[in-house]
Copies of this chain bind each other. A is one copy, B any other.
């Protein structure tokens, strides 16, 4: 029997999805499970997006342009202009989800053995893409006590070697919800210019900022040739299943390389591009209501968490995630236990163990990520469950 690749063995399993069997078993027992574990919003996809697809009348589901339909890319130019990001449609490659934008950036800019610096905790799937690209992720740790602010410039300097090719941030951040300030981005700019690094900026949650305003890496003057934006409509329009994202850069060489990767895989999905194009024409106040809803959920979640003895949850400035520190021995054990061995009034809650978002062994053992993608009533129920669980969890620490 032929053996698979080392790479195939080394790709890490998804830390978020590994608890799924325990959640399924709980549901089979009749327990209601609140899913705070995954960024799948309960917000409806805007009807004009779905209607655009349902009312389409083409007869052949053809390949699109490898960079995505030109009409959609021209619409995206309008979209980015709303954030004072000035682009041409040729600086945008429509990708199959934000995931493919990440892969394109890794493949186009990094060779096997190259290093990329990521503040931890970080979006766990970056690990999978790094393994595919044979790239080494080096982390510098941000702390829950500081609300997960950007680590000090000196920490970056210490991590940079001759093999470092890029810094990757997610802004606002998944999993922490932290919104990087303009000043923090200026620090990254100095680092990138000094060491000639790419700045990969995952801006999937651009619209969802509650405390402060989003500042895009693309707006860093003088860093135009270093910045690659990895974007997606998944969270923005509650359209995760569309699989439409974007690779955006003004670096012509990176664009040319990514375009060849795009041609090799032929084209992004055609149906979903229709929905994505319609999204750009949504009323400009569309996000007001959505943002207000997420902000209310955040406020409830964070307030309730901080009322639980021994729990600390910094107030996230954006996205729809929060990391909370719990009085527990091991977040992997706890997140499994609460699904497997606990219920309160027939209910329990699924969370993502903090360990999955750290590369440094031992970190995140007393943290969990909570996605506030459920309605306010459900969030209240879920946090009540969590509070009750913490009263009886056998691995509770005395803090």
Q: List residues of chain A with CB under 8 Å of any chain B CB.
A: 1-9, 11-14, 17, 38, 40-45, 49-50, 53-56, 58-64, 66, 96-97, 99-100, 103, 107-112, 114, 125, 127-129, 132-134, 165-166, 192, 196-198, 225-226, 238-243, 251, 253-254, 257-258, 260-261, 263-272, 275
Residues of B within 8 A of A100 (CB): 265
A107-B242 contact, Cβ under 8 Å, with A1-B251, A97-B266, A263-B128: no
Residue of B17, B63, B197, B270 touching A263 (CB-CB under 8 A): B17
Nearest chain B CB to A1 CB, angstrom units: 4
Docked-complex contact B225 and A1, CB < 8 angstroms? yes
Q: Which 4 A-B pairs have the closest CB atoms?
A: A241-B270, A128-B264, A8-B257, A271-B271
Docked CA distance A242–B192 (Å): 39
Out of B61, B240, B257, B265, which one reaches A5, CB within 8 Å?
A: B257
Could you list 11 examples of A-B contacts with CB < 8 Å? A2-B196, A2-B198, A4-B257, A14-B66, A99-B265, A99-B266, A103-B265, A128-B264, A132-B133, A240-B267, A243-B266
Return chain B residues, CB-CB under 8 Å to A196.
1-2
Residues of B within 8 A of A257 (CB): 4-5, 8-9, 11
Q: Which of B112, B125, B197, B266 contacts A240 (CB 8 A)?
A: B266
**Contact assessment for A268 and B243 in the assembled complex, using a CB-CB cutoff below 8 Å:** yes
With A2-B109, A243-B270 known, 12 other A-B pairs at CB within 8 A are A2-B225, A7-B110, A11-B260, A17-B66, A50-B61, A63-B240, A96-B243, A96-B265, A97-B265, A269-B269, A270-B272, A271-B271
